[in-house]
Amino acid sequence: MIEYYDEKFQKHTKTYNGITARVILHEYDHIEGKLFIDYISPLKRKLLKRKLDDISKGNVKVDYKMNFQK
């Protein structure tokens, strides 16, 4: 359930589910500074470390343009 105010400062409450709810939570996590790795166990994080390091260095092949921080 999300509560928000529109451009006229009227309060709304809405419940989402399915993929829409996941997208909203994903974006809200970004606002809060959280990443998916914050939700996984330390063991899984350690197992993924090499792949995550490669991604952060730009060592990935994708079909679209990616910009990496230096």
Q: Sketch the domain layout of the chain as residue ranges.
A: 2-57
The beta strands (E) that lie in 11-59 are given as 11-14
Least confident of 6-10, 13-17, 48-52, 66-70: 66-70
pLDDT digits (tens, 9 = 90+) for 20-51: 999 999 999 999 999 888 899 999 988 888 88
pTM across the whole model: 0.55
Where in the sequence numbering do the catalytic residues fall? 27
Ramachandran bin of 57, using left for φ above 0, alpha for ψ from -120 to 50, beta for the remaining angles: alpha
